[in-house]
């Protein structure tokens, strides 16, 4: 049914059909809304191979040109007709749906208006994250609307005020069921999707305004004419709390199955996308993570692994062999990173050990969070069939906790309902930072407050919430990327290990001499062998080479130097767009590139 809407929405709506004959009944609203889903619903690549792979928690063979220091407005191709086509489609629905007011109930009408306004908030927020100041499209612009088409960009705070209005309307008027919502699916926009997204976005913008003293588009202080940072954090807390207290969702017991099962887990997944082996609706995520030729050799970093607590609720050790560090750790770690004892399923029915393949990773660790450990999905592109969570109840708990801590509302009771719930799912003892048995993690504090461009004072509560966001949400879409952007910690992308590269597994002196024994298979390092499935060639500190932190042993470092400048919190406006409309103006810092 959704595929039938592709042609409808791929063409300019004003030229495709007569609104007077189309927007006449509820079925028209449903059809058009489903077309919006078909166009904008995130897919497996968006979620499993999103921006998180270019952050501090994931090593890659090569990074984005943005971080090389050579990117410029002349190279950008991010502002074109297609950038604004989806907002126009949403505006078309809002402009024309009043024609069916007499044929549907007020409740149904407001639901579909709320769905459209959800999508307008969704796409506008995507543009804000990229450009900062941009446009809020609230009507269908025609070629004759030269004033609007060639106007300067609108101020971010004004735009987000309108996003706020849209999201509040959506949270109030989207139905939880009915009005074309299939309760057995998780693709439809309903009240819970709106609440979860409001929880996410109000936290994002509220903390962005708090930790960024200026609007990155202009380099000038926020104007303060609309919602303040505190106002937005209160909205994040409000909508998080509303969803939690609805009791409509709870955490699913098996964390790993959320990411490898073909079935959406409806108890936790609020919004998702279904794939199916039986229906041949597949994607290529497993292959991308398990290939030496079709990917960037994605690899968890030591910083990611180090975030996971021990089961007794205390911090883990730093310098420990990869064969030992998974013992007595948060179960989410072994659900996300390959550990000894994990098996795979072969097509012949056997289930041998799933062994690391060092041709697939930069740092010795191997991602399995999104990987179906079956021979077929890993053997080629478009063979994976695991369904994809887009928004989960777990994230709402994290948003609730962070907003409450930012507002000074966190206490032990709320901690246990949010962070405590997540840790107990991972088999970790929940220890409130205010309790006497809490063990502070100096490494974690140093990581967020030392050798960073914009250090801030952070409470133990906030440090632990930030830890929990990594362990729970890492490598889901652009969760970690968004966190770094809103906390003004983009320089962690450049800093990594002593500004040198990504830090991987720890290799002891004994292992450096005789190899790492992984379930009977020996993995070695050398200066003479070629890098292979079981060997890394240690050849120096040039970009693309491997070295060891202590010279002959220590942390495996994949050397790859990057650059960070605060202008990178936003992308440049493409020079091709500026040539057409100079009044767009360039984002601060990119004018001279």
How many other CB atoms are found less than 10 A from the CB of residue 561?
16
- Residue 497's SS3 state is strand
Taking only the tens place, the pLDDT of each residue in 418-457 is: 999 999 999 999 999 999 999 999 999 999 999 999 999 9
Q: 284: burial class by Cβ within 10 Å (0-12, 13-18, 19+)?
A: buried
Structure tokens at 299: 């690899």
Domain that holds residue 554: 501-559
399 domain-assigned: no
Taking only the tens place, the pLDDT of each residue in 67-116 is: 998 899 999 999 988 888 999 999 999 999 999 999 999 999 999 999 99
Task: Return d(Cα 590, Cα 579) in angstroms, integer.
Answer: 15
Taking only the tens place, the pLDDT of each residue in 479-537 is: 999 999 999 999 999 999 999 999 999 999 999 999 999 999 999 999 999 999 999 99
Helix (H) or strand (E) holding 502: strand 501-507
Given a contact cutoff of 8 angstroms between Cβ atoms, the answer to whether 311 and 399 are in contact is no
Structure tokens at 126: 């995507």
The values of phi and psi at residue 498, to 5°, are 50, 35
Domains of the chain: total: 1
528 domain-assigned: yes
592 domain-assigned: no
Distances (CA, A) of 224 to 157, 231, 517: 8, 11, 59
Task: Return d(Cα 134, Cα 132) in angstroms, integer.
Answer: 6
* Residue for token pair 């970790």: 428
Q: Give the predicted TM-score (pTM) of the model.
A: 0.95
471 domain-assigned: no
Task: Return d(Cα 1, Cα 469) in angstroms, integer.
Answer: 36
- Residue 36's SS3 state is helix
- Residue 175's SS3 state is coil
* Residue for token pair 């994809």: 388
Is pLDDT at 180 greater than 80 in this prediction? no
Q: Determine the average pLDDT of the residues in 281-290.
A: 96
Q: Mean pLDDT for the chain?
A: 93
Given a contact cutoff of 8 angstroms between Cβ atoms, the answer to whether 125 and 53 are in contact is no
pLDDT attached to residue 28: 94
pLDDT attached to residue 186: 86
510 domain-assigned: yes
pLDDT attached to residue 11: 40
| pLDDT bracket for residue 14 (50, 70, 90) | very low
533 domain-assigned: yes
Is pLDDT at 15 greater than 90 in this prediction? no
Task: Return d(Cα 94, Cα 166) in angstroms, integer.
Answer: 12
Task: Return d(Cα 484, Cα 49) in angstroms, integer.
Answer: 17
Structure tokens at 467: 């830890």
Is pLDDT at 9 greater than 70 in this prediction? no
pLDDT attached to residue 179: 65
Q: Determine the average pLDDT of the residues in 330-352.
A: 97
pLDDT attached to residue 510: 97
The values of phi and psi at residue 126, to 5°, are -60, -40
537 domain-assigned: yes
Give the β-pairing of 521-526 and 535-537: parallel
Given a contact cutoff of 8 angstroms between Cβ atoms, the answer to whether 365 and 303 are in contact is no
Is pLDDT at 20 greater than 70 in this prediction? no
Taking only the tens place, the pLDDT of each residue in 240-274 is: 999 999 999 999 999 999 999 999 999 999 999 99
pLDDT attached to residue 10: 40
Taking only the tens place, the pLDDT of each residue in 110-164 is: 999 999 999 999 999 999 999 999 999 998 877 666 556 678 999 999 999 999 9
Q: What angle do CA 402, 407, 410 make, to 5 degrees?
A: 60
Structure tokens at 147: 């004033």
Task: Return d(Cα 268, Cα 256) in angstroms, integer.
Answer: 13
| pLDDT bracket for residue 16 (50, 70, 90) | low
For the chain, the distance separating the N- and C-terminal CA atoms, rounded to the nearest angstrom, is 47
Q: How many CA atoms lie within 13 A of 55 on its CB side?
A: 23
| pLDDT > 70: percent of the chain | 94
312 domain-assigned: no
């Amino acid at each position: 049914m959704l595929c039938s809407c592709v042609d409808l929405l791929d063409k300019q709506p004003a030229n495709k059909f007569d609104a007077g004959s189309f927007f006449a009944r509820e079925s028209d609203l449903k059809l058009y809304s489903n077309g919006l889903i078909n166009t904008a619903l995130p897919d497996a690549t968006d979620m499993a191979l999103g921006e998180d792979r270019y952050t501090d928690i994931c090593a890659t063979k090569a990074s984005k040109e943005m971080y090389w220091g050579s990117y410029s407005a002349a190279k950008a191709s991010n502002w074109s007709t297609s950038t604004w086509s989806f907002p126009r489609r949403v505006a078309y629905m809002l402009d024309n749906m009043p024609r069916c007011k007499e044929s549907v109930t007020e409740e149904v009408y407001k639901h579909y208006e709320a769905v459209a306004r959800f999508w307008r908030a969704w796409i506008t927020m995507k543009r804000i994250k990229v450009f900062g100041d941009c446009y809020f499209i609230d009507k269908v612009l025609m070629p004759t609307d030269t004033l609007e088409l060639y106007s300067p960009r609108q101020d971010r705070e004004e735009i987000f005020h309108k996003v706020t209005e849209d999201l509040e309307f959506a949270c109030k008027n989207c139905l939880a069921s009915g009005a074309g919502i299939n309760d057995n699916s998780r693709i439809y926009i309903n009240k819970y999707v709106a609440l979860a997204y409001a929880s996410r976005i109000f936290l994002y913008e509220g903390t962005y305004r708090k930790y960024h003293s200026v609007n990155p588009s202009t380099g000038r202080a926020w104007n303060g004419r609309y919602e303040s940072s505190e106002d937005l954090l209160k909205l994040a807390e409000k909508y998080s709390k509303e969803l939690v207290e609805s009791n409509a969702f709870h955490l699913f017991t098996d964390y790993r199955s959320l990411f490898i099962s073909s079935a959406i887990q409806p108890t936790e997944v609020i919004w998702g996308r279904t794939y199916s082996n039986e229906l041949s609706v597949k994607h290529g995520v497993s292959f991308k993570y398990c290939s030496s030729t079709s990917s960037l050799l994605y690899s968890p970093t030591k910083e990611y692994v180090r975030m996971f607590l021990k089961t007794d609720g205390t911090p883990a050790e730093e310098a420990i062999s990869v064969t030992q560090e998974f013992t007595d750790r948060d179960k989410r770690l072994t659900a996300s990173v390959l550990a000894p004892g994990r098996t795979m399923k072969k097509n012949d029915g056997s289930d041998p050990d799933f062994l690391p393949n060092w041709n697939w990773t930069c740092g010795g660790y191997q991602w399995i969070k999104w990987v179906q450990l079956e021979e077929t999905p890993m053997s080629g592109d478009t063979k994976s069939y695991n369904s994809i969570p887009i928004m989960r109840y777990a994230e709402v708990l994290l948003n609730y906790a962070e907003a409450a801590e930012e507002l000074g509302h966190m206490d032990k009771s709320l901690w246990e309902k949010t962070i405590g719930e997540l840790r107990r799912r991972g088999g970790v003892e929940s220890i409130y930072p205010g309790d006497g048995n809490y063990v502070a993690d100096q490494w974690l504090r140093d990581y967020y407050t030392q050798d960073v461009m914009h250090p801030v004072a952070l409470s133990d509560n906030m440090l632990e919430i930030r830890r929990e966001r990594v362990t729970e949400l890492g490598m889901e879409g652009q969760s970690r990327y968004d966190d770094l952007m809103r906390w003004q910690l983009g320089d962690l992308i450049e800093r990594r290990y002593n500004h040198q590269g990504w830090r991987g597994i720890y290799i002891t002196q004994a292992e450096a001499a005789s190899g790492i024994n992984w379930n009977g298979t020996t993995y070695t390092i050398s200066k003479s062998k070629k890098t292979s499935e079981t060997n890394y060639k240690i050849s120096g500190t040039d970009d693309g080479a491997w070295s060891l932190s202590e010279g002959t042993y220590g942390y495996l470092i994949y050397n790859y130097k990057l650059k960070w400048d605060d202008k990178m919190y936003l992308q440049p406006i493409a020079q091709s767009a500026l040539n057409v409309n100079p009044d767009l103006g360039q984002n601060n810092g990119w004018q001279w590139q």
